[in-house]
Amino acid sequence: MTVSAGIGIANYVFDDAAGFWRWVELCDGGGVDSIWQSDRLIGTDANLECMSVMAALAGATRHVKFGMNVASLGLRDPVITAKACATIDVLSEGRLLPAFGVGSALGRDYAATGVPTRQRGKRTDEGLEIMSRLWSEESVDFEGDCYQLEGASIAPRPVQQPLPLWVGGSADKAVERTARWGTGWQAGIETPDQVAPIIRAIKDKTVEFGRQIDADHFGAGFGYRFGSEDDPVSLRYKEALAKRLGKSPDGYLAIGGSEEIMTLLNAFRGAGVHKFVLRPIAFGTQDMLDQTQQMIEQILPEVATFNG
């Protein structure tokens, strides 16, 4: 059972593509466990498309793993998505960490793509089964309410067998689909107190299904910044997060030094989290590089001590 720390990005904060690749190189050579790209299609903030990022990272890196945090499966065809994931896993020699959720009905992605929000949970449930079977079985027959397959097969199948299948979401249905199909669970924007009961519920539900999820396959993330609560980047981030949450962002992020960051990380550990996605609170290429370098130098060695 291990504790690991990856790094997550939502908004595209880099000055240009060259800056992004400098950051990727830093992560790949600096011992970062994994890179996670959030999924958002429609919006005025700059965001990269997550599956495209996975494919790009497969060719640009040699060590770091990478995943989506999390991709909206209610928007995506499961056969095409399964094929894409298998291709990326093959070309990266087994470093993809696929992660899926339903996707928010409150965002604009569903309306903009013409996909109904109705039955999005059902599409996600069926999609998770279809993908997991296509990744491992020679031939798949499936008769569902949303999807039907007859003798379907993909090749090459993923290098990783089984291919990890991380699931996101905190509702009762998300708990059930994680316990039924997931090999791991990834929290959203939540505090340690909010995460703890979800992890317990997933563990209880997996017993009902005769399954087990490894204890180190429960993940959570939070924004961090080495610096002051009052610097402009910190203030802007806290304001945006408070607006999104509709309340104070206290407990959802860590700003200060390694002590403040490790205090929140350890609170999540106490809730049952072992895999971390730390999101740099940064703006511009150099700021992102600086925040990531400090994470590598100050946080990763602390995390390594948890693994003996």
CATH number, position 84: 3.20.20.30
Query: Residue 306's pLDDT is what?
Result: 96
| Mean pLDDT value of segment 28-41 | 97
pLDDT, tens only, 120-151 = 999 999 999 999 999 999 999 999 999 999 99
Query: Residue 172's pLDDT is what?
Result: 95
pLDDT, tens only, 262-288 = 999 999 999 999 999 999 999 999 999
Query: Residue 209's pLDDT is what?
Result: 95
pLDDT, tens only, 50-79 = 999 999 999 999 999 999 999 999 999 999
Query: Residue 153's pLDDT is what?
Result: 98
Query: Residue 105's pLDDT is what?
Result: 79
| Mean pLDDT value of segment 17-29 | 98
| Mean pLDDT value of segment 235-242 | 96
Query: At which residue do the structure tokens 């992102």 appear?
Result: 288
Query: Residue 104's pLDDT is what?
Result: 84
| Mean pLDDT value of segment 6-21 | 97
Query: Residue 10's pLDDT is what?
Result: 93
- Count how many domains the chain has: 1
pLDDT, tens only, 209-227 = 999 999 999 999 999 999 9
Q: What distance in Å separates the CA atoms of residue 8 and residue 72, rounded to the nearest whole number?
A: 17
- Express as a percent the part of the chain with pLDDT over 90: 98
Confidence class of residue 106 from pLDDT cuts 50, 70 and 90? confident
The DSSP letter of residue 185 is E
Residue closest to 220 by CA, chosen among 193, 246, 245:
193
Confidence class of residue 308 from pLDDT cuts 50, 70 and 90? confident
Burial (0-12, 13-18, 19+ Cβ within 10 Å), 251: middle
> CA of 125: how far to CAs of 87, 93, 101, 180, 225, in Å?
22, 28, 9, 9, 36
Mean pLDDT of the chain: 97
| Domain extent at residue 85 | 4-307
Confidence class of residue 107 from pLDDT cuts 50, 70 and 90? confident
| Mean pLDDT value of segment 221-241 | 97
Query: Residue 277's pLDDT is what?
Result: 98
Q: What distance in Å separates the CA atoms of residue 216 and residue 95, rounded to the nearest whole number?
A: 17
Instruction: Look at residue 1 and tell me whether its pLDDT is greater than 80.
Output: no
Q: What distance in Å separates the CA atoms of residue 2 and residue 184, rounded to the nearest whole number?
A: 14
> CA of 43: how far to CAs of 46, 49, 284, in Å?
8, 12, 19
pTM: 0.96
